[in-house]
Amino acid sequence: MLKIHNTLTGIKEEFKPLDQNNVHMFVCGPTVFNYIHAGNARTFVFFDVVGRYLEFKGFELNYVQNITDIDDKIITRAHTEGKKTEEISLKYKTAFIEDMGVLKVTAVNNYALASEHIAEIIAQIKGLIEKGYAYIAPAIKATGADAVSAEGNNDVYFELSRYNKDFPNQYGTLSGQNLEELKESTRVEMEANKLNPHDFVLWKAQNYSYEPTNESPWGLGRPGWHIEDTAISEKYLGQQYDIHGGGQDLMFPHHEAEIAQQQALSGKVPFVKYWMHGGFLTTKSDKMSKSLGNFTTLRDLVARFSNHPAETIRLYFLSAHYRSPLAFDETLVNQASIAIDRIADFLARLSKASGEENPALDEILKLRADKFTASMDDDFNAPAGIASVFELIRALNPLITKNALSAGQAESIKTFFQTTVERILGIVPEPKEQSIPPEILELVEQREQHRTDQDWSKADSIRARIESSGYRIDDTPYGPLISTK
């Protein structure tokens, strides 16, 4: 039974889709004003695994991800570089799709661009105005070189106080904030034409000539960020659906705003049954972010690996629980790279199996395969699942060394790696033998046995033997990893 930690309720709940076997899922995609950074990629890889696992469990998945290609950050970048906004957004949208291919992100069915859903966005805003949840405010006249006349152009805002009256105890629930605290918050900027500080923009009037514009019933302008997502999700997933995901930074105000918009429009509660939020990739104490300037692009990270970049980066991201922060740390990335080499080596050596049928294999394999799926069923606990994969490799390595597996058994082990581990996690590389001699692997196993027996001095003396032979051994979350010095 699959359980998901639901941000909305704060507990792990059994996963039951609204519509029998069909799962509708939406994840907030990137704002395309730059190459995605490693932190964005962590979130996208994790939700790819969610999608892959749901399909593995036999669900029919409809997974939509939006691409924010209309946004102030894109406009600012284009203006600074003297380019058209479409040029910037097309360049980075194309790069993003390429990046997802490089990372083996396969679960998304539909990447939906905000710019291609203006009609749906306008229809949602109209609906909110008609129902009394949104108001039109004449645009504030801009000043400066490229300012346009505000004549005939209007902003449209969502009226939070009206929503709160009709939907009490909804706004703030997801992010665990109470309304009074929100009201006192001074962080919200107050545009002069808003009724209340927490009202958020649905349609933004054009202020400057270089801003991209669309015709609307409220004059020339562009959509606000939150309405892009509900317009897209309603079109492809319906007014209510199963899973909405994103990084923790999006919980407030973005996801609270989405809930308010869609619930106000449809009158149906809850908008989304399971909300999932991924932890940050962090540098020192900060969240990696484009606006803080402390980021490494995914492309830079990929370029560091000549061998198996996708598998290495995916394993590194998945080595921490998705709700925990993960440090962007060279050592951890290198460990993941060695661990992937270990899988490649294991698979290559497995191909040589030519021994007798081993009666113990079924039990060895079943134990770890069951642990793997039980971990994934427990709120997508990939680190625990990965630990059972490496446990399996450790249990099988001595059997391969002794040629104590048949060729047919080797095939069934490979099938498990392909149809379960690769299909769900995408971390299985092409087989490739490493130059680690069997006698060194044997020493590693002996050291493990001493460590299990807590015989530290014997374990240490074996480590010294391994190191004096020109190898290095690292104890990692994947178990002991051996590499050449």
Residues that bind ligand AMP (CB under 6 A): 28, 30-31, 39-40, 42-43, 246-247, 249-250, 278, 280-281, 287-289
Q: Is 172 left (phi over 0), alpha (psi -120 to 50) or beta?
A: left
Cα separation of 390 and 375, whole Å? 14
DSSP run (H or E) holding 466: helix 456-468
- Report the residue number whose CB is nearest to ligand AMP: 247
Nearer to ligand AMP, 250 or 441 (CB): 250
Least spacing, CB of residue 39 vs ligand AMP, in Å: 3
Q: What token pair was written down for 294?
A: 């402390």
CB-nearer residue toward ligand AMP: 55 or 249: 249
Q: How far is the CB of 283 from ligand AMP (least distance, A)?
A: 8
Minimum distance from residue 288 beta carbon to ligand AMP (Å): 4
Q: Under 8 Å CB-to-CB from 407, ≥6 apart: which residues?
A: 353, 354
Side by side, the strands of the sheet bearing 221-223 are 134-138, 154-158, 200-205, 221-223
| Least CB distance to ligand AMP at residue 29 (A) | 6
**Cβ distance to ligand AMP smaller for residue 330 or 439:** 330
* Nearest distance from C-beta of residue 286 to ligand AMP, angstroms: 8
CB of 66 to ligand AMP, least distance (A): 10
Joined together, the tokens standing for residue 458 give 């014997």
Q: How far apart are CA 389 and CA 367, in angstroms?
A: 11
Smallest gap from residue 42 Cβ to ligand AMP (A): 5
Task: State how far the Cα of 50 lies from the Cα of 7, in Å rounded to an integer.
Answer: 16
- Other CB atoms within 10 Å distance of the CB of residue 83: 13
Which tokens sit at 185? 């918050």
Nearer to ligand AMP, 113 or 288 (CB): 288
- Cβ-based nearer residue to ligand AMP, 26 or 416: 26
- Comparing CB distances to ligand AMP, the nearer of 78 and 288 is 288
Cβ atoms of 362 and 300 within 8 Å: the answer is no
Closest CB 198 distance from ligand AMP, rounded Å = 21
Which 3 state secondary structure label does DSSP give 260? helix
In the bound state with ligand AMP, the residue whose beta carbon lies nearer, of 66 and 388, is 66
The region, left, alpha or beta by phi > 0 then psi within -120 to 50, assigned to residue 263 is alpha
Nearest to ligand AMP of 39, 480 (CB atom): 39
Min dist CB 230 to ligand AMP, Å, is 16
**Toward ligand AMP, which CB reaches closer, 278 or 426?**
278
The tokens of 351 are what? 């191909």
Nearer to ligand AMP, 205 or 313 (CB): 313
Distance CA 317, CA 29 (A): 17
- What is the per-residue DSSP string for 198-246? T-EEEEEE--BTTS--B--TT-SEEE-HHHHHHHHHHHHH-SSEEEEEE
Distance between CA atoms of 285 and 265, rounded to whole angstroms?
Answer: 40
Spatial separation of the C-alpha atoms in residues 133 and 160, rounded to whole Å: 8
The nearest distance, CB 47 to ligand AMP, in angstroms, is 8
**Tally of CB atoms within 10 A around 408:** 9
The residue (of 203 and 280) whose beta carbon lies closer to ligand AMP is 280
Helix or strand (DSSP H, E) at 154: strand 154-158
* Residue 218, φ and ψ in degrees, nearest 5: -110, 15
Report in angstroms how near the CB of residue 85 gets to ligand AMP at its nearest: 16
